[in-house]
Amino acid sequence: MQRLYRKRIVLGVGGGIAAYKSAELVRRLLEHGAEVRVVMTRGGAEFITPLTMQALSGHPVHLDLLDPAAEAAMGHIELAKWADLILIAPTTADLIARLAQGVGDDLLTTLVLATDATVALAPAMNQAMWRDPATQANLQLLQSREFKVFGPAAGSQACGDIGLGRMLEPTELALCAAECFQRQTLTGKHVVITAGPTQENIDPVRYITNHSSGKMGFALAEAAVEAGAKVTLITGPVHLPTPDRVSRIDVVSARDMLAACEAAMPCDIFIASAAVADYRPEVVAPQKLKKDPTKGDGLLLQMVRNPDILATIATRPDRPFSVGFAAETEHLLDYAARKLKDKNLDLIVANDVANPSIGFNSEENACSVIDRQLYETLFAQTSKGKIARQLVAFIAVRIHQV
């Protein structure tokens, strides 16, 4: 069930005997890659201890609406924004009634009022309570508001009755939760992206670098997450916030970046959008270099080649689908095609950085993508965010053809 991978699920635990199943439900959701935070009502905490749910989820359990410690860590509004799905299991008849009336008198009902996420209910109650017209009317009202209802199942109940009202089993509920999410183009894929410039030290206060802002790489990371991928973003020194749900690794030099890339392997897709310095000073001065009048006005630096990160990754025995970038100022397509072949790439993205409207530090981009057959696909000038989504969609189609 890759559709649950990296999805954020708030599991609400109501005050019913079926709360004992919620512990197993946490395990099932985690097994499928979901991130789980648990919110318990006072009744829920009477049936199963918060400590149990904390141990299983790996996170503190949220209990009270006005808990200063919880608000400092992740306030209820932030928790409501965090969730992709709020799954309440078990959902008692009382809880259904309060949700139908829009009551927000505890943490769980307040979260439901404050969230834009899908809310799903797993009813659990006595068969007579389930059949009661008030319960059914409340459920119909909630379903008209696009709440999802999973179950209930029929069978023997804790009170000795037999009929509808049993909460679905944890495995079934995990499947139902997965159905709340569409399968995306990169669901289950691990994508490693490099971004930004590298810096090569001359001495403790000076270095060689370039004009890359990292904006394109960060936009690609965000687009890959939107497409369902697990994303590792390896970036040189930039001043950009980390996109949501992206694992970020900060590096400085080309050799640092190569080491981080190799440590991140294996992956399914490698996108090298970083502007990596081709050369570095052979010797880094241990102290700040001072002007030397005896040597005239010049400064001679002996440079050596940096390792080729893209070629190194693209020629590994377990090579991922490899995408390079060619930022050129002339002969754009010729140079890009040569780089594609020399580095054993699947695709290369070529863009003209001599054009200030789409070059380094710009907010927009335009590019051509060249494949192994040297077929060129054009992407017209637009924002880097839109270009990133177009590129990720293009890559997703190609990787499924491999």
Tens of pLDDT, residues 183-195: 778 988 999 999 9
Q: For this structure, is 267 an active site residue?
A: no
User: Residue 185 domain-assigned?
Assistant: no
Ramachandran bin of 50, using left for φ above 0, alpha for ψ from -120 to 50, beta for the remaining angles: alpha
Q: How far apart are CA 107 and CA 95, in angstroms?
A: 12
Is the pTM of the predicted complex or chain greater than 0.75?
no
In terms of domains, do 34 and 140 share one? yes
In terms of domains, do 242 and 101 share one? no
- In contact, 231 and 223? CB cutoff 8 Å: no
- In contact, 73 and 67? CB cutoff 8 Å: no
Ramachandran bin of 20, using left for φ above 0, alpha for ψ from -120 to 50, beta for the remaining angles: alpha
What pLDDT shows up at residue 71? 53
| Beta pairing class for 153-156 and 162-166 | antiparallel
Q: Count of residues for the chain?
A: 402
User: Residue 11 domain-assigned?
Assistant: yes
Give the orientation angle of helix 93-100 with respect to helix 133-144, to 10 degrees: 50
What is the layout of strands, in order, in the sheet containing 190-195? 246-250, 230-235, 190-195, 269-272, 321-328, 347-352, 364-371, 376-383
User: Residue 240 domain-assigned?
Assistant: yes
Using the 3D structure, point to which of 128, 156, 178 is the last residue of a domain: 178
In terms of domains, do 20 and 162 share one? yes
Question: 10-residue block means of pLDDT along the chain (402 residues)?
Answer: 81 93 94 91 92 93 72 67 92 94 90 91 92 94 93 77 85 91 84 96 92 92 91 96 93 96 97 94 89 76 94 95 87 86 93 74 83 89 88 91 70
Catalytic residue, chosen from 159, 176, 180, 267, is: 159
Using the 3D structure, point to which of 158, 178, 198 is the last residue of a domain: 178
- In contact, 65 and 107? CB cutoff 8 Å: yes
User: How far apart, in Å, are the Cα atoms of 242 and each of 35, 195, 220?
Assistant: 19, 12, 12
User: Residue 94 domain-assigned?
Assistant: yes
User: Residue 292 domain-assigned?
Assistant: no
Tell me the three state secondary structure of residue 28: helix
Tens of pLDDT, residues 198-251: 999 999 999 999 988 999 999 999 999 988 899 999 999 999 999 988 999 999
User: Residue 184 domain-assigned?
Assistant: no
| Residue-number span of the structural domain to which 99 is assigned | 2-178
Helix ranges, 247-302 (H): 254-264
In terms of domains, do 68 and 89 share one? yes
What pLDDT shows up at residue 63? 87
Tell me the three state secondary structure of residue 154: strand
- What CATH number corresponds to the domain at position 54? 3.40.50.1950
In terms of domains, do 15 and 147 share one? yes
